[in-house]
Amino acid sequence: MAEERRGEDIVSEYLGQNPHLAQWVESFRGYCETNKQWSARREFILRNMEAFPTIEPGIPSSSLDRLLSLSMVWANNVFLGCRYPQAVMDKIKDMGQGIVVEDAPVRSTRDEIIAKGKRSTSSGPDGDNCVKKAKVGPNDGDGRPAGKAAARPACQKPGPSPQAPAQHQPFFNRLYKAVAWKLVSAGGFGPNLDHYEILQSCVESCKQSLSCVFVPLKDIPDLPASRVQKEGQVCELRCSTVYMGTGYGRDESAARAMASKEALKAFQGRKVTVKICRRRYNGTDVEDVMLLDDQPRSQGFPPALSYPFQADSGEDGAS
Amino acid sequence: MGVPAFFRWLSRKYASIVVHCLEEKSKECNGVRIPVDTSKPNPNEVEFDNLYLDMNGIIHPCTHPEDKAAPKNEDEMMVAIFEYMDRLFNIVRPRRVLYMAIDGVAPRAKMNQQRSRRFRASKEGAELTEEKAKMREEVIQRGGYLPPDEIKERFDSNCITPGTEFMDNLAQCLRYYVSERLSNDPGWTNITVILSDASVPGEGEHKIMDYIRRQRAQPHHDPNTHHCLCGADADLIMLGLATHEPNFTIIREEFKPNKPRPCALCGQMGHEIKECQGTAREKQGEHDQFADTMPGSEQEFIFIRLCVLREYLEKELTMASLPFPFDFERSVDDWVFMCFFVGNDFLPHLPSLEIREGAIDRLVGIYKDVVHKTGGYLTHNGFVDLERVELIMQAVGVAEDNIFKKRKDDDEGFKRRMKEKKKRLKAERPPAYLTGGQFAPQALGGRNRPEAVQNARHQAFDMRMQHNQAGGPSGAQEARGMKRKAEDSDSEPEPEDVVRLWEDGWKQRYYKTKFDVDATDEDFKKKVVRSYVEGLCWVLRYYYQGCASWKWYFPFHYAPFASDFKDIKGMFSDFEKDTKPFKPLEQLMGVFPAASGNFLPGTWRELMSSPESPIIDFYPDDFALDLNGKKYAWQGVALLPFVDERRLRAALADVYPDLSQEEARRNSLGSDMLFVKKSHPLCDFIKELYLAESQEPTEMPAELCHGIQGTLTLDGDPILPDKPVQSPIPLLRDIMTNSAIGAKFLDPQFANDFVFKAILLPKAKMPAPVLKPGDWEAGNRGSWRPQLGFNSNRQQAHLNQSAFRTLGHATGRSHGGQYSNAPPPGNYQDKYRGQPYRGGSQPSYPHSREQSLLGAPPRMNQFPRGGRHGWNQATQDQRSTFQQQMNRADSRGGMGSYNQHHNQRNDDYRNPRGGQQQQGYNPARSYPPPPEPRRYNRN
């Protein structure tokens, strides 16, 4: 607030000193611009005029038009909610620095509304919590994905606590029952089920949610050489930080379906157990909390795609 | 008019304005399509003089149809457009003029709407493609089947904008089409065709209006011309009323809400792309023979009779004991004006006036109340009396508060009822133990007899397994899904309405959220009101006098409240004179998003995306959308920035030199074209012009062409008789024996300050009234009876007993039963023709034979015994004569065509026995005699 005052004061002071400018600048005001919008845009124009040395007050020129255009871009962005290509946005971000607009309107863009509409109308496979998280993984700059769900406060210490299996075991016992009944009503475990749907609905019926993390296959270290160049996505499923399964598919949803199938396999035994195991993650061995069935395992575990027990996971979640 | 609800409201309230079209279908015989002879009388029992086509209403559905698969390439699109026009021509059968108008560059006032549509269309198109690709992948991974993706470029519907190559091609194709039909179609023989393509500025329907207005204003105009205008926009109704022509009819596709659309991915009906399974197609019909036909495929047309609407309006608007003489024509103009408040293409509608809430009735009520105070009409010849308008606005303003409160109540009531309905429906769902598939229970006496159960074991197995396989998006999980949905919808967070018009302080909140100003900012409010007032004046003038200013536009996204219209009298004087429309490519720059830049030359395109561009602010990637109380994204207001004309022109001045010659041509303003056939009296006149190579525009002699006037100029690349016309479409043949001639045409010109009078012309005869006279019941005199079509004396059809027997016989026993001799449904004729007689084994007769039958009086005969080859090759003339008879007979045409089949069949067949029979019957009888009983068995 105070800053804005200063901004406005500077402008009016400046225009007071240069009365010839005032009239000229005023001619750029659009008919439909409100006082608030205009004073902000005027400040934008005046502040950035120096960057366009070819502008001479009172004389139309293409550099003047460029400045006016950018001022409109800025104002449209701030007041109308328009988005422009990234290069343009970067530019006006720099140029608009220091101009404070109080109480700018909040608008949702068309893309946002459409995306929201899709999420709420779509049923089943695109359940919302998953979509949100799915987006986080692949977009992470450093290629090391982290689920947003990982941001739970309890999980922010490095490595799982030794009590973790005991804490989680009762929940998974309930989940085991839910899954068993669900599979019975769906006609038994088999290849034709929508595994993700089943797993998700069971988890939700136990008042928890699944988190999915997707990584493009080629971004995963520790893979046998034969698979390195393959296209596709890998999905890792966790439920309240406990690892449930990993799957590979051509796209995210196929990978997720595969992972769910893997996870459901664990529920085929007589019971499920939560254990701390060692596995690979990001090139190193770490300890992870995993859901296992009562069968002895022949192979090792697939490398983890996310690790919710790191100290910095809080940042990831927040980003 | 951007008010889809307007027509629905109108046709519900004034139901008699709608007349269903009778369409004579062309027949097909042995793969040869026999076109309908449109020179024959119109089966709708009315003769139209002029047919006007608002082409954009045809181009859009033909290039990217919503209810069927899209054409594969541009050529197919053109052919689809031709076919559509043929259909319309066949229904309307104009006798004098066919006017085709494609939208040219529109006035600036329209640009905001165009921009918003094109920005959205571009985004929607991209989203659809993306979703398609995603779903395709998914479906194929699940092992589903999908027809291979045709390698075709996504058709960007944005190219239907003047200045694009597509529109240029279209203009070429239409010239070809016109010459072809003029040369070869008998129905076109005496027609004058005017083609106004996209290079002529002005919206299509307004170019048409301009034509009518200017013709009316010249002395040779026939005041009883029957106009027929094709187009679905509701504003055509306004435009038609604004002409004050007594005979004005609008033809449009029948509006069917919630028409099923095929899935964009697999092309099957019944699901949306989201639910696409891509499963192996179900067989359509036993051998998949119906795979490509949509259920109830063809859209039917309706006429809207404006003379009937005028009757209704007269009843509604007539006011007694006025302080001034009542003039119905003037009150119609006022009615049209008030409809603009509710919505039009150029202004956002007033927040308190919703057509669904009876806004027009409310306005009419207010109008009649206030008229005593106003002391006169609101408008005159398209000029607005602002003082009187203010009184209307203030009266609306008084009610505004209550309107908003009631809207909220209604809305909540509606939601509650929907919830209850949902609950009820859920309770009424059939119980789970009902069997499906072949074992599904069938209603007794239903149309389709149940078939014998096939492979019962397998079906039973399937039914048992159904529950097991129910994974995927259906089955076990579905029940759960349903339940949750019902719960969810209760709590589903609606977008929060921060304006809350139903609560005190709504005005402040509205101005704050919509305009981002404080309610105390009276200056700003006044600015908005002034612009809106200007807008009302502009729109009315646009409808009654033509475009007053190409530059004017409404520079806000929202309308003010009715109660804000205070002291508006002095707010408007006149528009800037002599404004010029944009050039086509300039307008493209003004309405296209950067994503459609491929329609523009390289350097022009760059202006849409480069950060250094001096007009980059016109082209946002994404924009805010204000749902404004509506539910769907497409209903919302797109908050797009407005185009600064000065900067646009300045920026384009730099890149103008980069236009190629071809592009410069596309960017230039074109001219209307007039075409006639060689045999038309005007043809020799035009030919003379070409021979004389006169460069001067020449006045058309009015007497040559039904009193139509205008000036003719020679065309640079003319279409001339006996000069072959090249086909622009590889699918279609060149016209080697062309008999059309074309020249540039210019509407009659009037002085700049000429005012077109909005009155009935002196010698105009009003058509016979249709509506029941108000005092009919009371007096019980006069001979009024309800009228369904155009003709009040249409003949009723009668079938005598023998005819029913014949019918029952021909349609076979499958429809047997006590009702079998009930008359067949309306379009029975076509179905009937197709089925029972299919399968004549011999090749058809040569055409010469048929020709020889021309004109022969219909002869009667009984059923022949064997092959019925050739019967359906009935020559056109004979056929349509019957058709007319038949249609006149209340469209229950079984008799007419039936009759004819016999004759034809017999003629071709030359059954000796039939020949004998023939002698016994009077050829002039209109109904066939009953066949001899003994013949029944043989058939």
Q: How far is A115 from chain B (nearest CA, A)?
A: 11
Q: Which amino acid is at B659?
A: L
A235 forms beta bridges with: A214, A247
Largest CA distance in chain A: 87
pLDDT value at residue B879:
43
User: Closest-CA residue in chain A for B593?
Assistant: A84
Q: What angle do CA B863, B864, B869 make, to 5 degrees?
A: 120
- Please state whether beta strands B27-29 and B32-34 pair in parallel, antiparallel, or not at all (unpaired): antiparallel
Chain A residues whose beta carbon lies within 8 Å of the beta carbon of residue B651: 62, 65
Q: What angle do CA B17, B23, B25 make, to 5 degrees?
A: 170
For B370-402, give one letter per residue: b (16+ CB within 10 A) or e: bbeebeebbbbebebbbebbbbbbbbbbeebbe
> Is it the case that residue A318 has pLDDT exceeding 70?
no
pLDDT value at residue A10:
75
Q: What is the 3-state secondary structure (H, E, C) of B421-490?
A: HHHHHHHHCCCCCCCCHHHCCCCCCCCCCCCCCCCHHHHHHHHHHHCCCCCCCCCHHHHHHHHHHHHHHH
User: Closest-CA residue in chain A for B498?
Assistant: A106
User: Closest-CA residue in chain A for B612?
Assistant: A66
**Pairwise CB contact (< 8 Å): A84 & B616:** yes
Distances (CA, A) of B785 to B792, B793, B862: 8, 10, 39
> Is it the case that residue B469 has pLDDT exceeding 80?
no
**Pairwise CB contact (< 8 Å): A62 & B647:** no
pLDDT value at residue B449:
65
Of the candidates A35, A69, A124, the beta carbon closest to that of B614 is on A69
pLDDT value at residue B928:
43
- Contact between residue B255 and residue B7 where contact means Cβ atoms under 8 Å apart: yes
pLDDT value at residue B265:
67
pLDDT value at residue A270:
82
Average pLDDT in the B324-342 region? 90
**Pairwise CB contact (< 8 Å): A84 & B620:** yes
In 10 A of CB A45, how many CB atoms? 23
User: Closest-CA residue in chain A for B475?
Assistant: A186
Q: Which stretches does DSSP call E strand in B756-881?
A: none
User: Closest-CA residue in chain A for B637?
Assistant: A110
Chain A residues whose beta carbon lies within 8 Å of the beta carbon of residue B621: 83-85
Which of B141, B491, B616 is the best residue to mutate to test the A interface, defined by the most A CB atoms within 10 Å of its own CB? B616
Please give the structure tokens belonging to residue B704: 């040559």
**Pairwise CB contact (< 8 Å): B636 & A113:** yes
Largest CA distance in chain B: 97
User: Closest-CA residue in chain B for A90?
Assistant: B611
pLDDT value at residue B874:
38
Chain A residues whose beta carbon lies within 8 Å of the beta carbon of residue B473: 123-125, 194, 197
Average of per-residue pLDDT values in chain A: 75
pLDDT value at residue B534:
93
Q: Which amino acid is at B166?
A: F
Which of A33, A38, A123, A183 is the best residue to mutate to test the B interface, defined by the most B CB atoms within 10 Å of its own CB? A123
Q: How far apart are CA A245 and CA A290, in angstroms?
A: 9
**Pairwise CB contact (< 8 Å): A185 & B638:** no
Chain A residues whose beta carbon lies within 8 Å of the beta carbon of residue B644: 30, 68, 72
Q: How far apart are CA B822 and CA B824, in angstroms?
A: 6
Chain B residues whose beta carbon lies within 8 Å of the beta carbon of residue A81: 623-624, 639
Secondary-structure breakdown of chain B: helix, strand, coil percentages, each rounded to the nearest 5:
45, 5, 50
Chain A residues whose beta carbon lies within 8 Å of the beta carbon of residue B654: 62
- For residues B897 and A51, the model is more confident at A51
**Pairwise CB contact (< 8 Å): A31 & B527:** yes
Chain A residues whose beta carbon lies within 8 Å of the beta carbon of residue B615: 65, 69
Of the candidates B134, B521, B641, the beta carbon closest to that of A82 is on B641
- Contact between residue B587 and residue B110 where contact means Cβ atoms under 8 Å apart: no
Distances (CA, A) of B458 to A192, B462, B463, B464: 20, 6, 9, 10
**Pairwise CB contact (< 8 Å): A72 & B619:** no
Distances (CA, A) of A99 to A15, A70, A103, B4, B657: 17, 14, 13, 44, 39
Q: What is the dihedral of CA B221, B222, B223, B225, to 10 degrees?
A: -120
Q: How far is B641 from chain A (nearest CA, A)?
A: 7
pLDDT digit string, tens, across residues A79-106: 888 999 999 998 888 888 888 887 777 7
**Pairwise CB contact (< 8 Å): A80 & B619:** no
> Is it the case that residue B919 has pLDDT exceeding 60?
no
User: Closest-CA residue in chain A for B123?
Assistant: A111
Q: What angle do CA B684, B687, B692 make, to 5 degrees?
A: 125
Chain B residues whose beta carbon lies within 8 Å of the beta carbon of residue A60: 650
Closest CA to B556 of B617, B511, B623: B511
pLDDT digit string, tens, across residues B681-690: 999 999 999 9
User: Closest-CA residue in chain B for A67?
Assistant: B614
Average pLDDT in the B453-470 region? 71
Interface ipTM: 0.73
Please give the structure tokens belonging to residue B602: 């390289």
pLDDT digit string, tens, across residues B132-157: 888 878 777 777 777 666 545 567 88
> Is it the case that residue B895 has pLDDT exceeding 70?
no
pLDDT band at A183 (very low <50, low <70, confident <90, very high): confident
Domain ranges within chain A, ordered by starting residue? 2-95, 127-318
Q: How far apart are CA B729 and CA B172, in angstroms?
A: 10
Residues constituting chain A: 319
Chain B residues whose beta carbon lies within 8 Å of the beta carbon of residue A188: 468
Cβ pairs bridging A and B (under 8 Å): 167
- Contact between residue B207 and residue B196 where contact means Cβ atoms under 8 Å apart: yes
Using a CB cutoff of 8 Å and minimum separation of 24, what contacts does B310-315 make? B310/B241, B311/B769, B311/B770, B311/B771, B312/B13, B312/B14, B312/B16, B312/B17, B312/B771, B315/B771, B315/B774
pLDDT band at B288 (very low <50, low <70, confident <90, very high): very low
Of the candidates B468, B470, B621, the beta carbon closest to that of A84 is on B621
Of the candidates B555, B611, B639, the beta carbon closest to that of A87 is on B611
In this structure, of A150-164, B177-191, B610-624, B786-800, the range with the lowest mean pLDDT score is A150-164
Task: Find the helix or strand (DSSP H, E) in which B491 lies.
Answer: helix B476-491
Burial class of residue B322, CB neighbours in 10 A (0-12, 13-18, 19+): middle
Q: What angle do CA B274, B279, B282 make, to 5 degrees?
A: 115
Closest CA to B141 of A229, A124, A138, A256: A256
pLDDT value at residue B853:
37
Please give the structure tokens belonging to residue B34: 């026999």
Distances (CA, A) of B924 to A202, B856, B862, B873, B927: 81, 11, 16, 22, 9
Closest CA to B650 of B693, B613, B675, B624: B613
pLDDT value at residue B270:
65
Please give the structure tokens belonging to residue B102: 């494609």
Chain B residues whose beta carbon lies within 8 Å of the beta carbon of residue A70: 616-617
User: Closest-CA residue in chain A for B492?
Assistant: A120
Secondary-structure breakdown of chain A: helix, strand, coil percentages, each rounded to the nearest 5:
50, 15, 35
pLDDT band at B297 (very low <50, low <70, confident <90, very high): low
Closest CA to B585 of B204, B199, B205: B199
Of the candidates B480, B524, B619, the beta carbon closest to that of A201 is on B480
DSSP state of B97: E
Chain A residues whose beta carbon lies within 8 Å of the beta carbon of residue B514: none
- Please state whether beta strands B97-101 and B50-54 pair in parallel, antiparallel, or not at all (unpaired): parallel
Strand, helix or coil for residue B593: coil
**Pairwise CB contact (< 8 Å): A32 & B513:** no
Of the candidates B120, B476, B647, the beta carbon closest to that of A185 is on B476
Which of B119, B469, B477, B615 is the best residue to mutate to test the A interface, defined by the most A CB atoms within 10 Å of its own CB? B477
Of the candidates B120, B468, B556, the beta carbon closest to that of A32 is on B556
**Pairwise CB contact (< 8 Å): A192 & B471:** yes
Of the candidates B617, B621, B639, the beta carbon closest to that of A72 is on B617
Closest CA to A233 of A316, A305, A307, A309: A305
In 10 A of CB B795, how many CB atoms? 12
pLDDT digit string, tens, across residues B483-498: 444 444 444 455 567 7
pLDDT value at residue B204:
92
**Pairwise CB contact (< 8 Å): A85 & B609:** yes
Chain A residues whose beta carbon lies within 8 Å of the beta carbon of residue B527: 31-32
**Pairwise CB contact (< 8 Å): B481 & A113:** no
pLDDT digit string, tens, across residues B821-878: 555 554 444 444 434 444 444 433 333 333 333 343 334 444 444 434 434 443 344 4
pLDDT digit string, tens, across residues A116-126: 765 544 433 33
> Is it the case that residue A295 has pLDDT exceeding 90?
no
- For residues A208 and B900, the model is more confident at A208
Tokens 């082409």 belong to residue: B55
Task: Find the helix or strand (DSSP H, E) in which A280 lies.
Answer: strand A272-281
Please give the structure tokens belonging to residue B848: 């010469």
Q: What angle do CA B747, B748, B751 make, to 5 degrees?
A: 125
**Pairwise CB contact (< 8 Å): A84 & B627:** no
Average pLDDT in the B323-345 region? 89
Tokens 């350097």 belong to residue: B603
Q: How far is B124 from chain A (nearest CA, A)?
A: 10
Chain A residues whose beta carbon lies within 8 Å of the beta carbon of residue B619: 84
Domain ranges within chain B, ordered by starting residue? 321-410+499-571, 584-665, 801-938
